[in-house]
């Protein structure tokens, strides 16, 4: 015997629960819609198949703001926490148990939501990424600039475990950067992964026989040795993208950067090189005599700790996510405990400031990685701190 407490009544004007005793079998053909709560006293034994509907790319909702701190009742003055995690590329990921989204597209959707939501008065970018494609990183930065040009609200970047390469490039477009003391910061450089697999393929009697029009159309192919002029061509492109990164850091960080007489002048234009010789680029609050060669601005692609990044001016302060939220609130003139929201679809969890949009690529589950063959589906030139030559391993997912 099963007792069902159904929160509805068929008698007009009656709203109290009705208790129904069901003895034997209960069969439902078709759909059963329940609005409200259903309470069950006792056990329910089910024979047969239960079909559930999961949220996928085709059924998930648009992003919406979900408040995560129940203590705040202020729904008109909110801070949005936007997570930027994993490898930054302009393509979709797919994973088990949840959809894998294009991080560029998702970021754009979140920026557009913030633009249209007048209750969001500040933004915290919670960044945990080694970087990614040069173009993808620049697209993310462009979306952030678009938000800032349309709404005069402060944006604070908070670097979590990793904020390097394109992730740091994105952070430099915020109004302030907070890094954990143990964050890995920097990676101001460019890399293009190339492999020469000609001899390896030859061991299996595999010979490349391309039909091509345009001698340089297969520059960078792993199937043959790269010629010197081809390497110079790709190197010039890498240098161009690197200089673009350097100029962004210098323009955004400005006088906050520490520059000493030991800095590599090849990264400076003639005007700044002359200023450097005159000592005009040394920050007033830094004793040049106490600086070591390791205190130079790492334009060579190196990474540093969050503490060191603050010392040389790559970030404004060290702290934690709460500190970044407090800073954003003060910059926006909000109360000491503003409402915090995450931008989520209806199938993504949003229970604390640290929840991450699931975005695990299928390839990261597979144990097989073939160097050189990933390039067909991945970006070429990368703003990416890459201690491991495998692009898949570099993915933060």
Q: Which residues pair with 339 in a beta bridge?
A: 78
Distance of CA 161 to the CA centre of its chain: 12
Please name the residue that has the structure tokens 């680029």: 281
64-193+233-257+297-384 domain in CATH 3.90.226.10?
A: yes
Q: What is the pLDDT of residue 348?
A: 75
Residue with the two structure tokens 């299928």: 362
What pLDDT does 200 receive? 84
**pLDDT at 251 (0 to 100):** 94
Please report the pLDDT score of residue 297 as a whole number: 67
HSE (side-chain half, CA atoms, 13 Å) at 388: 11
Taking the model in full, what pTM does it have? Answer: 0.75
Report yes or no: 83 and 356 within 8 Å, Cβ to Cβ.
Answer: yes
Domain ranges of the chain: 64-193+233-257+297-384
Count of C-beta atoms within a 10 Å radius of residue 136: 24
Q: What pLDDT was estimated at residue 41?
A: 72
Residue 366 vs residues 94, 103, 300, 390, 392: alpha-carbon distances, Å: 13, 21, 33, 13, 10
Q: What's the pLDDT score for residue 6?
A: 47
pLDDT at 248: 97
User: In three state form, how does the secondary structure of the chain look?
Assistant: CEEEEECCCCCCCCCCCEEEEECCCCCCCCCCCCCCCEEEECCCCCCCCCCCCCCCCCCCCCCEEEECCCCCCCCCCEEEEEEEECCECCCCCEECCEECCCHHHHHHHHHHHHHHCCCEEEEEEEEEECEEEHHHHHHHHHHHHHHHHHCCCCEEEEEEEEEECHHHHHHCCCCEEEECCCCEEECCCCECCCCCCHHHHHCCCCCCCCCCCCCCCCCCCCCCCCCHHHHHHHHHHHHHHHHHHHHHHHHHHHHHCCCCCCCCHHHCCHHHHHHHHCCCCCCCCCCHHHCCHHHCCCCCCCEEEHHHHHHCCCCCEECCHHHHHHHHHHHHCCCCCCEEEEEECCCCCCCCCCCCCCCCCHHHCCCCCCCCCHHHCCCCCEEECCCCCCCCCCCCC
At residue 220, the pLDDT reads 83
Task: Tell me the CA distances in angstroms from 379 to 89, 229, 305, one per residue in order.
Answer: 7, 22, 27
Closest by Cα among 149, 138, 146, 147 to 172? 138
Q: How far is CA 88 from CA 16, 188, 221, 384, in A?
A: 54, 15, 23, 9
Cα angle 65, 69, 71; round to 5: 130
Reference 82, options 143, 20, 13, 4; nearest CA is 143
**CA pair distance 77, 290, nearest whole angstrom:** 44
pLDDT tens series, the chain, 397 aa: 444 544 444 444 555 555 556 566 666 666 666 666 666 777 777 677 766 555 555 456 788 888 888 666 667 889 999 999 988 988 876 544 445 688 999 999 999 999 999 999 999 999 999 999 999 999 999 999 999 999 999 999 999 999 999 999 999 999 999 999 999 999 999 999 888 888 888 888 888 888 989 988 888 888 889 899 999 999 999 999 999 999 999 999 988 887 643 445 555 556 555 544 433 344 555 555 455 555 566 799 999 999 999 999 999 999 999 999 999 999 999 987 889 999 988 777 777 788 877 665 444 433 444 444 444 455 478 888 877 655 444 443 3
Q: Show Cβ contacts of residue 168 under 8 Å, excluding neighbours closer than 6 positions.
A: 131, 159, 185, 186, 187, 188, 314
């Amino acid at each position: 015997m099963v007792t069902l407490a159904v929160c509805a009544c068929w008698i007009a004007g009656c709203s109290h629960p009705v208790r129904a005793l069901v003895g034997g079998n209960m069969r439902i053909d078709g759909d059963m819609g329940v609005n409200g709560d259903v309470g069950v006293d006792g056990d329910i034994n089910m024979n047969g198949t239960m079909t559930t509907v999961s949220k996928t790319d085709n059924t998930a909702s648009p992003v919406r703001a979900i408040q995560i701190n129940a203590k705040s009742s202020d729904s008109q003055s909110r801070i949005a926490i936007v997570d930027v995690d994993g490898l930054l590329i302009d393509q979709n990921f797919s994973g088990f148990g949840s959809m894998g989204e294009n991080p560029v597209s998702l970021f754009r959707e979140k920026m557009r939501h913030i633009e249209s939501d007048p209750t969001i008065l500040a933004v915290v970018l919670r960044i945990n990424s080694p970087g990614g494609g040069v173009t993808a990183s620049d697209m993310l930065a462009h979306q952030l600039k678009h938000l800032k040009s349309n709404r005069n609200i402060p944006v604070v970047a908070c670097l979590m475990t990793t904020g390097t390469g394109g992730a740091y490039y994105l952070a430099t477009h915020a109004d302030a950067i907070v890094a954990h003391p143990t964050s890995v910061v920097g990676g101001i450089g460019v890399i293009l992964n190339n492999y020469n697999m000609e001899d390896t393929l030859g061991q299996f009697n595999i010979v490349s026989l391309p039909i091509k029009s345009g001698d340089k159309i297969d520059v960078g192919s792993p199937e043959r040795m790269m010629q010197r002029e081809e390497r110079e061509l790709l190197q010039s492109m890498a240098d161009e993208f690197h200089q673009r990164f350097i100029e962004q850091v210098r323009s955004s960080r400005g006088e906050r950067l520490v520059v000493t007489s030991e800095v590599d002048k090849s990264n400076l234009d003639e005007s700044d090189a002359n200023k450097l010789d005159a000592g005009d680029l040394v920050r007033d609050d830094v004793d040049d005599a106490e600086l070591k060669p390791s205190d130079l601005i790492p334009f060579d692609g190196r990474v540093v700790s969050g503490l060191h990044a603050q010392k040389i001016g790559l970030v404004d302060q060290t702290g934690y996510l709460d500190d970044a939220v407090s800073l954003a609130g003060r910059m926006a003139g909000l109360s000491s405990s503003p409402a915090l929201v995450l931008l989520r679809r209806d199938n993504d969890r949003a229970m604390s400031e640290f929840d991450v949009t699931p975005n695990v690529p299928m390839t990261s589950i597979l144990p097989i990685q073939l160097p050189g063959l990933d390039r067909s589906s991945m970006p070429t030139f990368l703003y990416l701190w890459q201690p491991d030559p495998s692009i898949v391993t570099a993915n933060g997912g």
